[in-house]
Amino acid sequence: MSPGARAEIGKQTGLKIQRSLTPCRFKSDRAHQDNIIMKYYIFLFLIIPFLTLSNDTDFDEKIKKYILENPDVIIKSLNEYQDLLAEKEKNSQKEIIKENKKEINSSYQFIGNKNGKYIITEFFDYRCGYCVKAHKELVKLSKEKKDLKIVLKNLPILTKDSDRLARISLALSIKYPDKFEQFHNYIYINARALDNEKIQKYLKQISVDPNKILNFAISDEIQELMDKDFSLAKILKVSGTPAFIVNNQFFTGWVGNNILLSAFEN
């Protein structure tokens, strides 16, 4: 198909490529833009073989004419094909979650009931604004639902400070597990103004040896645990924070407590 024909089809159907990213996760219009990109490539994938194999010199113009006269048919076909791909991806992701269930549901870092019957796993970053919102709501939920355990997985992808805070938090959860939730809350409240001096001062206030924690935070053991969380995120195709896994279902971004709880009903 000639460049002019493709341009005309794009003009008539709206199949234009756009892209927009934010540090924490995609903006609300990113899904719409990704749909446009996907439809464009699906269209090329479906139409190019016909153009390549055809011996009809007028085939290019016939295809162009049909598409321009029947844009709704083309868009409907692309939508249905994209829905089919999305459903396959969803089912594939569920299988991956099942295969990694033990790792997903275990962590030194958690809030709520240690032996809770219901488990929500969150991939988080202390410097992520959406994670701050999620944290506040999850704390409320853990107090309301006494049989709920919220497992936390580190995914510090935004800044170097994200990584520093994650390491210190993980180190404390291992050495002083009974102090973790308190410290976890403290970081979220003060994350944007927490240097090591302030952290040391706070650790002393809650009867924690700051040198023990800060030294352990840069150890090989902590590095290995951090790497495990990143590897799991890669396997699950987690690309931003917050992200949640509930009862074999995957959620990207903060979707609200009601949505997360509804996953236990399915």
Domain that holds residue 77: 3-94
Residues 19 and 150 placed together within one structural domain of the fold:
no
Is-contact 158 23, C-beta < 8 A?
yes
Average pLDDT, the chain: 82
Answer yes or no: are the C-beta atoms of 181 and 111 closer than 8 Å.
yes
Domain boundary among 42, 65, 94: 94
Clarify whether residues 197 and 238 are in a common domain: yes
Q: Are β-strands 118-124 and 148-154 bridged in parallel, bridged antiparallel, or unpaired?
A: parallel
Same domain, 88 and 182: no
User: How many domains would you assign to the chain?
Assistant: 2
Please name the helix (run of DSSP H) or strand (run of DSSP E) that holds residue 229, with its range, or none: helix 220-236
Shared-domain flag, residues 27 and 150 = no
Whether 113 and 87 map to the same domain: the answer is no
pLDDT tens, position by position, 224-240: 999 999 999 999 999 89
Same domain, 17 and 63: yes
Both 90 and 110 in a single domain? no
pLDDT attached to residue 182: 96
CATH of the domain at 137: 3.40.30.10
* Contact partners, residue 24, CB within 8 Å, separation at least 6: 125, 128, 129, 130, 131, 158, 240, 241
Mean pLDDT along residues 172-192: 94
Q: In this model, does residue 15 exceed pLDDT 90?
A: no
Do 165 and 252 share a structural domain?
yes
pLDDT digits (tens, 9 = 90+) for 19-68: 323 335 533 345 555 555 555 555 555 555 555 555 555 666 776 677 77
Identify whether residues 109 and 196 lie together within a single domain. yes
Global model pTM greater than 0.75: no
Tell me how far apart the alpha carbons of residues 140 and 137 are, in angstroms, rounded to a whole number.
Answer: 5
Torsions phi, psi of 206, nearest 5? -105, 20
